[in-house]
Structure 1
């Protein structure tokens, strides 16, 4: 059974609790795979990215980390050598372009469906949603990516990262344009998703918006299920006590 982790971004102190829970689920007999490909290596070297990810997970005993800076020629067999996949932040368009160009989205989806553990931070979380247009207010589409479709690992929900309440008008514009419900995550918020159940991690609530901009907060430690009522994409949130 697959497990997904998503975080809203931020530094390693802000995501510490999310990272700790993720690290606790990794199979210690296999390395962790790190994908820094959302980053522009001309601005931040992949070597620096590797040092950063090592500093994130070393406190939790995860030091065997392999980094792929190029997805060309990778296979499902290669992917299965790892205990989990950590997809880092950066530019969402760059990340989606690389994933699609090399056909890696197919491998990653099969890995997930066969029980793989995947963590996406910031851009890595956004691509797991149904539409990556949630990044347009902060990311430049220098790669001229034409489509906006994400991996749709959370049904029809799109992911909004680095969230704060002042961005609600931007979320409303996105919903009015694309008719997609949104899960908004601050830089101290994460999700653990398993078998349709979502648990909020971190220190700040997750916010869920439906197609009419109804907004509901889910506090850290809370569990809920999400369902979409097609075709209107009305939000239904099912808490543990329902």
Structure 2
């Protein structure tokens, strides 16, 4: 059963509840695989220091960082407890996953029970369509396919959500015809099998294709298959 953690973004304080739950779901004696490729290469060392400061106090003893996904295969993932995909530019992240063909490996790993944590851009790529990022990310890499991994049913993921984004979400719904799960920076969701559970200090929001239909997720598991109307 897949376990997919999707974070709206934010700092260490804002994500601490989701981070703690994540560490409870994995074998902390195995290394965590960290993939920061949504960020510019000049920041990789800083990214490693950041994730180490985040998870080593929570009991994760070893973190391995991959900055090049060329020639990787599913067997390479066997020794890791889980995968953490960091934030940055969503277009850049998806293009690298496609160009290295790691996107297929990541999807297979997740669908076959691998535990994955996606933060911001790393969360958006698991939705149906990544154009939920277009108000904050620039497509500087010339990506022309905006299809995500589609591991959250028909839903796309909107990160760093604020109520001021509502008009932008309505435009997205009209243009792309896919419902949206909107995550504030203080909030994430755990997808466990076919069910979602909100974790954090603020509710998440589900915007359906009907522009007047909004569902608030606040705490308990909700069966995502019932949201498709």
TM-score by length of 2: 0.97
Given the alignment of the two structures, is residue 202 of structure 1 paired with residue 207 of structure 2, yes or no? no
Secondary structure at the residue paired with 1:227?
helix
Residue 50 in structure 1 maps to residue 48 in structure 2: yes
Runs ≥4 in structure 1, deviation > 6 angstroms? none
The match for 1:179 among 177, 180, 184 is 177
Q: Offset of 1:227 from its aligned partner?
A: 2.3
Q: Where does residue 218 of structure 1 map in the other structure?
A: 217
Equivalent residue of 2:198, what SS?
strand
Q: Deviations over 1:212-237 (max 9, x none)?
A: 12111111x321011278xxx52xxx
Gap change, CA 1:7 and 1:118, over 3 Å in 2:
same
* CA distance, structure 2, for counterparts of residue 194 and residue 101 of structure 1: 29
Aligned-pair CA distance for 1:40: 1.1
> 2:115, 2:70 → 1: CA distance?
21
Aligned partners of 1:98 and 1:131: how far apart in 2?
Answer: 16
Q: CA-to-partner distance for each residue in 1:75-133, whole Å, 9 max, x for gaps?
A: 11111221100000000001000111001011111111221000000000000000000
Query: In the alignment, is the contact (CA less than 8 A) between 1:156 and 1:228 conserved in 2?
Result: no
The Cα of 1:32 is off from its aligned counterpart by: 0.3
Q: Which runs of 5+ in 2 are unaligned?
A: none
Counterparts of 2:28 and 2:168 in 1: how far apart (Å)? 42
Query: How large is the Cα RMSD of the aligned pairs?
Result: 1.1
Q: Secondary structure at the match of 2:161?
A: coil
Taking the TM superposition and a 5 Å limit, the aligned residue runs for 1:126-145 are 126-145=124-143
- Richer in helix (by share): 2
- 2:66 matched residue in structure 1: 68
- In the other structure, the counterpart of 2:92 is 94
TM-score, reference length from structure 1: 0.92
- Asked if 1:40 is matched to 2:40, the reply is yes
Q: CA deviation at 1:58?
A: 1.5
C-alpha deviation, 1:29, in angstroms? 3.2
Please say if residues 39 and 89 of structure 2, whose CA atoms lie closer than 8 Å, have aligned partners that are also in contact: yes
Structure 1: 5+ residue stretches without partners? 235-242
Aligned-partner Cα distance in 1 for 2:34–2:84 = 5
Aligned length: 228
Q: Deviations over 1:8-59 (max 9, x none)?
A: 00001100010000011111332000000000124xx211100000011122
